[in-house]
Amino acid sequence: MSKKVLITGGAGFIGSHVIRLFVNTYPDYQIINLDNLTYAGNLLNLKDVENKNNYRFIKGDITDVTFIEELFQSERPDSIIHLAAESHVDRSIANPLAFAQTNIIGTIVLLNAFKNLWSENWDEKLFYHVSTDEVYGSLGSEGLFVESTSYSPNSPYSASKASSDHFVRAYGETYNLPYVISNCSNNYGPYQFPEKLIPLFINNIIQQKPLPVYGDGNFIRDWLYVLDHAIAIEMIFHHGKKQETYNIGGFNEWKNIDLVQLLCKQMDIKLNRSPGNSEQLITYIKDRPGHDLRYAIDATKINLELGWSPSVTFEDGLSNTIDWYLKHEDWLHKVTSGDYLNFYAKQYH
């Protein structure tokens, strides 16, 4: 059956993979990419699909009420996949208000426009909200986040995402708006902006710049290859139960410092540098305030209900990712000019 799917944040890292998957898999769907092209959004990420008949890009801000209401009334999307967000924890510490504006207000503006458009005529409609495991806060050395874990966000980023999740649920309860939410662990892969750990460190190793490890480097994240996230989103979109949440994760926990050492080893080989060359760049710096110790997802529900599990091993995913960045140094140069240099200077002086 044909659908008109509005995907927000499609020019960003995960959004571009979701757009590519939907455009290539569903020629009968109309896919609209709504993105404001902030520093994190880049149409270069979608060069290979930009001329497809089932794809269109619209530039616009999800916090602009008039624009969004008019867009919804004219385009009449039956489904939304909402990824647009401010997404970097360190930026949220420097500027929390921008995160409240985009992540909370922007989500409410979209929910409201969707409600106003369909006036509770909800047949075959869906609002899919893409969220993060960071809403659950920090784990100690034991345990995993499950869908019923209570929210306990610690950063302005995770607090803003938690708030947006609550609003989505509240629209479901109050107006019967059909929704699904997924909360995913840390993603990595091609097209990730080089402010997040893995692409930042790849870029710095290429340039032989210091690798700024926060605190003692013993923080733990659960890493998932971005394509596996996009596949999970596609499965939840079509087969997920309405008004439910799904956790998505890689069952792949790494201490930051172990991951950085692995990255250094792989890059020395790929760059024909002598063993140990990149590790010398590791520099321990002041810890991030409110730094969550450990995230780890229990992805049993999506596995049992929808048959999803990660398809890419971490070793292969990391190797593909490094190869992609080495082959796309032009992309790295383009996205790391201008504003990036100011951000970098402020963040790491």
User: Which residues are part of the catalytic machinery?
Assistant: 133-134, 157
Determine, following the binding rule CB under 6 A, whether residue 85 of this chain makes contact with ligand NAD: yes
Determine, following the binding rule CB under 6 A, whether residue 89 of this chain makes contact with ligand TYD: yes
Which of ligand TYD, ligand NAD, none is residue 190 near (CB under 5 to 8 Å by kind)? none
Determine, following the binding rule CB under 6 A, whether residue 213 of this chain makes contact with ligand TYD: yes
List all residues 6 or more positions away from 119 whose beta carbon is below 8 Å from its beta carbon.
none
> In which residue are the tokens 């990419």 written?
33
Considering only CA atoms, which of 183, 185, 206 is closest in space to residue 194? 206
H helical segments located in 48-136: 65-75, 89-94, 96-99, 106-118
Q: What per-residue string of b and e applies to 256-269 under the rule 16 or more CB within 10 Å gives b? A: bbebbeebbebbbe
Count other C-beta atoms under 10 Å from residue 270's C-beta. 13
Which residues within the stretch 231-260 sit at the binding site for ligand TYD (CB under 6 A)? Answer: 256
The residue (of 281 and 297) whose beta carbon lies closer to ligand NAD is: 297
Considering only CA atoms, which of 112, 130, 104 is closest in space to residue 7? 130
Using the contact rule CB under 6 A, the part of the chain among 6-14, 42-50, 59-67, 207-215 near ligand TYD is 207-215
Using the contact rule CB under 6 A, the part of the chain among 14-22, 24-32, 62-70, 192-200 near ligand TYD is 192-200
The residue (of 274 and 342) whose beta carbon lies closer to ligand NAD is: 342
- Cα distance between residue 229 and residue 345, in whole Å: 32
Element (H, E) at 258: helix 256-270
Determine, following the binding rule CB under 6 A, whether residue 15 of this chain makes contact with ligand NAD: yes
C-alpha separations of 244 from 70, 113, 232, 291 in Å: 29, 21, 14, 29
Which residues within the stretch 272-291 sit at the binding site for ligand TYD (CB under 6 A)? Answer: 288
Which of ligand TYD, ligand NAD, none is residue 214 near (CB under 5 to 8 Å by kind)? ligand TYD
> Residues in the site for ligand TYD, rule: CB under 6 A?
89, 186, 196-197, 200, 212-214, 219, 221, 256, 288
> Residues in the site for ligand NAD, rule: CB under 6 A?
8-9, 11-15, 35-38, 40-41, 61-63, 83-87, 102, 106, 130, 132, 161, 184, 186-187, 193
